[in-house]
Amino acid sequence: MRFLAYFSTLSLLTAATATALPADGTPKRILKANRTLVYRTLPSEANDLTEFFTKGAWYGRLRMNTFRYDWKEEIPGKTKDNWSAGIGGSVTLKTAYFHGFGATLDAYTSQNPWHMDKEEIKFLKSGKDTMCRHDVYDKNRYAMNVVAQLYAEYRMKKTRLKYGRQKFESLLTKSNDTKMVPNTFEGLSFTSRDLPGHLFKLAWFTKQKLRDHTAFHDVLTFGDRSFSGLSSEEKLIAAWGNNDDSAMHRGLSYDNYRKSGRETHHDLLVAEVWSMKVPNLEAMLNYTAVPDVVSSATAEAHYTLETGGWKVVPGVRYLRQFDNGGGEVGGAALLGLLSPHYANTAGQSGGYDDPKSLDGWLVAARLDIRPDAPWKLRLGYSHTGDEADIVAPWRGFPTGGFTRVMGQYNWFADTDTWMVRGDFDFEKAGIVSGLSAMFRYGIEDFDESKKVYETAKGRWIALTPSDRKALELGAIWKISKVPGLEARIRMGFVDAHKRLDGSDPSYNEYRFEMNYLF
């Protein structure tokens, strides 16, 4: 009932104050396949402070996401088949611009009228982003209501300066808005297209809010307190109270920072430039850093060859990661078991040349084949150097766009991945209006020799996933009879080698999503 009342009120408010739809009847915003939004209608300039609000614009979005995760083999206390459903959406208000100044408010809700029992929430995988696990355990609250964006903006020509809570799309920072609430940051950002053929991005962020959080937290600290003396449930609450992203380096924890005599609050610096000045060439340079912990520099380029109505686009990415002090805190492995402060594996290298260093690198290449036809094809390969794992818990994936298949992380040290992707546009083929489909198939070869012996429990633990083959199938249907309405389905099938303990981590995953933009 609270959900219905909330959205009825917001929908009426939106309908009463929204600006008119574009002339072609389509919504004021368009949802791209990667779930980022393209604004087709924006507020106009205000002549005075009154028009600053009256010429503003409202945007609405209703959405539903459902998830089903089916393990091939359940392990008591560790893995369990799980499911989740989220119903909600967002309302966005943009003011008009007065002498270049404007503001944006973006409020989101995710309601969970159906959910697993509290004791089973810890087993959730992809479906965890329909709720805040921390709030479930700490406050018995399954719903998320959060202002994910709230920023002041100054624009001049094609330059934008924003301060506050905001989305920021760069190589390693993404809104990744594929669930119910986006990943956003707090701080200052600058973007500019004023130099022809170039896009500049610069940001300094002091906090991050992951998709399954209702509060902003540190950008690179796992856990928000010491685990010493806590019960098992209190440890979960502490772990989920800070950066608990699935790609987070567990060794860069509150405990380990404190034991190293370091601060547990960190800032995130991002600088990126894209150049499209040279015909057919897109090139990018990126620098991302958490000062005094870890940083990375990346170069990327894509060149378009056109022949006989076909486009062939080779691309390459090289990322170099630098240890700026984080290795002595958390060690080389993302699991954190090589941290100098973790006594149960003390003195072990885990198969890493330098277990106390975060120096590392990654190279990826791809080839896009785009004929003048309803289909297109991508071939990709990536290799992570045999040094440290790559640190990137900000929802931008180091192998994204090259070899990442749904739900898979493949930037562990000494990992090779091969991927093929195919897309088919049923509308372009004259079969079904608004329907498109894709598949991705990846073969992931991890370094399964990277392992440690945990003396306290007398067992071997793998530091990387087991080798696997992953298939992703997906389709998006934009329903033309209802502009702004679309359905999306994704399925993942993972066939993995057995773990060190003999268990089978293979699984199937199913996702269904509905969106309505108005």
What are the extents of the domains in the chain?
A: 68-83+112-136+152-517
Q: Which of these, 88, 147, 83, 91, lies nearest to 115 by C-alpha position?
A: 83
Q: What percent of the chain has pLDDT over 70?
A: 95
Give the separation between CA 244 and CA 219, rounded to whole angstroms. 10
Q: What is the pLDDT of residue 447?
A: 97
**Is the separation of the CB atoms in 361 and 391 below 8 Å?**
no
pLDDT digits (tens, 9 = 90+) for 447-503: 999 999 999 889 999 999 999 999 999 999 999 999 999 999 999 999 999 999 899
Written as six digits, the tokens of 266 are 């960190």
Q: Which residues make Cβ contacts (< 8 Å) with residue 280, sequence separation at least 6? A: 303, 304, 305, 306
Give the separation between CA 417 and CA 389, rounded to whole angstroms. 15
Q: What is the pLDDT of residue 429?
A: 96
CA angle, 275 then 279 then 285, to 5°: 20
Q: Which sign does the torsion angle of CA 253, 254, 259, 261 carry? A: positive
Count the helix, strand and coil residues of the chain and give each as a percent rounded to the nearest 5: 10, 45, 45
Q: Which of these, 396, 409, 400, 322, lies nearest to 172 by C-alpha position?
A: 396
pLDDT beyond 80 at 276? yes
**In the beta sheet, which residues pair with residue 98?**
101
Q: Is residue 3 very low, low, confident or very high in pLDDT (cuts 50, 70, 90)?
A: very low
CA neighbours closer than 13 Å in the CB half-sphere of residue 216: 18
The secondary element (H helix, E strand) that includes residue 288 is: strand 281-290
Is residue 372 exposed (0-12), middle (13-18) or buried (19+ Cβ within 10 Å)? Answer: exposed
Is residue 460 exposed (0-12), middle (13-18) or buried (19+ Cβ within 10 Å)? Answer: exposed
Mean pLDDT over all residues of the chain?
94
Q: What is the pLDDT of residue 22?
A: 60
For 68-83+112-136+152-517, CATH number out of 3.30.420.40, 3.10.20.440, 1.20.58.220, 2.40.160.10 equals: 2.40.160.10
pTM: 0.92
Written as six digits, the tokens of 448 are 């399964």
Q: Is residue 24 very low, low, confident or very high in pLDDT (cuts 50, 70, 90)?
A: low
CA neighbours closer than 13 Å in the CB half-sphere of residue 380: 27
Written as six digits, the tokens of 403 are 């070899």
Q: Which of these, 146, 145, 194, 189, lies nearest to 167 by C-alpha position?
A: 189
Is residue 481 exposed (0-12), middle (13-18) or buried (19+ Cβ within 10 Å)? Answer: exposed
Give the separation between CA 417 and CA 390, rounded to whole angstroms. 15
Give the separation between CA 360 and CA 334, rounded to whole angstroms. 12
Give the separation between CA 142 and CA 4, rounded to whole angstroms. 16
The secondary element (H helix, E strand) that includes residue 105 is: strand 101-111
HEC string of 309-336 equals CEEEEEEEEEEEEEECCCHHHHCCCCCC
Question: What would the mean pLDDT of 226-251 be, rounded to a whole number?
Answer: 95
E-assigned strand segments in 143-228: 144-156, 159-166, 184-192, 198-209
Question: What would the mean pLDDT of 42-59 be, rounded to a whole number?
Answer: 92
Q: What is the pLDDT of residue 11?
A: 38
Q: What percent of the chain has pLDDT over 90?
A: 92
Q: What is the pLDDT of residue 2?
A: 42
Is residue 117 exposed (0-12), middle (13-18) or buried (19+ Cβ within 10 Å)? Answer: exposed
Give the separation between CA 390 and CA 412, rounded to whole angstroms. 6
Give the separation between CA 294 and CA 391, rounded to whole angstroms. 8
Q: What is the pLDDT of residue 27?
A: 81
CA–CA distances in Å: residue 330 to residues 226, 245, 447: 15, 16, 20
Q: What is the pLDDT of residue 69?
A: 97
Place of tokens 């301060």: 163
The secondary element (H helix, E strand) that includes residue 225 is: none
pLDDT beyond 50 at 56? yes
Question: What would the mean pLDDT of 390-415 be, rounded to a whole number?
Answer: 97
